Amino acid sequence: MRLLVTADLHYNHSKSKALADDLIDTMNAAGGDVLLLVGDTAAADGDALERCLSRFRFSGPKLFVPGNHELWTAGPDSHALHTEILPRRVRELGWQWLEADPFALGDIAIVGSLGWYDYAFAQPSLGIPRRFYERKISPGAAERYTEFAPLFARTDDVPPHAREVIARWNDGKFVKLGMSDERFLDQTLSRLERQLAGVASCAHVVAAIHHLPFRELLPAPHSAQWDFAKAYLGSPRIGQLLCRYPNVRHVYCGHSHLAVEAKIGHVHAINIGSGYRWKTFRTLDV
């Protein structure tokens, strides 16, 4: 079986669409048996998701995993998007919603999850208290807006260098889960664990997780603004769950837009490496 995998097409983004079209054309011509998208195909609002998925010309199974951008909306409820609306839209286009319906062919299985984050990848050197990560804004940015004034009810734990970090994570504006990030991660991990238990008899399992499951896949140190974003790239809890299952051989992710590979125990972890200004895909022969 030949698997074609990509992520982060960001089809609704003006700088990304033409590159995504070119990549889709290349993938359409590449052949293969199974097609897999690992999140951030397009934001939920509008019809960019439908336009992107409809552009693929692929006769085999087409598997879809959502990313955080699929949950971006001007509406009130990202959770309903994730659990009800998006699965319906994706299935109506002939794609398999992998989070609820793992793929299996003989001894090979593919499971999928959005994943999420719990700030475990936050960089201690920045000195930013957890409450700022929860609101998805750095101290230097928060002090510019009156709505974030409660974050400074105490200041003894906000060092001067933390106030020099000016950054926001846009999930804070566009994702409305109605629960904490940790609780949402609990939910996605519970669904993933049920999938993994269901394919325990398969000899070779491929896991597609949009967020980073391993610290080894994090980008190298960069500016403080970029390092602030690492809190939202994923969680080691995802990787810990995957490593509990010896038949999980390959893990594909995206989200950070940086191509990285690492071997963690029996798992070959691969960040696909597509971004807004560049697109790529991977193949796996099993």
pLDDT score for 145? 96
Is pLDDT above 90 for 261? yes
Residue 212 belongs to what H/E stretch?
none
Cα 151 off chain centre by: 28
pLDDT at 248 over 90: yes
User: Mean of the per-residue pLDDT values for the chain?
Assistant: 97
Q: Are 282 and 270 in contact, with CB atoms under 8 Å apart?
A: yes
Q: Across residues 85-103, what is the average pLDDT?
A: 97
**How far is residue 138's CA from residue 132's CA, in Å, rounded to a whole number?**
6
Structure confidence by residue, pLDDT tens digits, 119-153: 999 999 999 999 999 999 999 999 999 999 999 99
- Cβ atoms within 10 A of the Cβ of 139, count? 26
Half-sphere exposure (Cβ direction) of 258: Cα atoms closer than 13 Å: 15
Average pLDDT over residues 254-267: 97
The CA distance from 127 to 124, in Å, is: 6
Average pLDDT over residues 7-32: 96
Helix axes 17-30, 48-55, angle to 10 degrees: 30
Question: What's the pLDDT score for residue 104?
Answer: 96
Q: What is the per-residue pLDDT across 151-162, written as a single tens digit (0 to 9) for each?
A: 999 999 999 999
The CATH homologous superfamily for domain 2-126+174-285 is Metallo-dependent phosphatases (3.60.21.10)
Burial class (CB within 10 angstroms; exposed 0-12, middle 13-18, buried 19+) of 28: middle
What's the mean pLDDT in 74-85?
96
Across 214-234, average pLDDT: 95
Neighbouring-strand partners of residue 155: none
pLDDT level of residue 10 (50, 70, 90 thresholds): very high
**222 band by pLDDT with thresholds 50, 70 and 90:** confident
Percent of the chain with pLDDT over 70: 100
Identify the bridge partners of residue 31 per DSSP, sorted by sequence position. none
In the block, tokens 């080691």 appear at: 236
Q: What is the mean pLDDT of residues 14-36?
A: 96
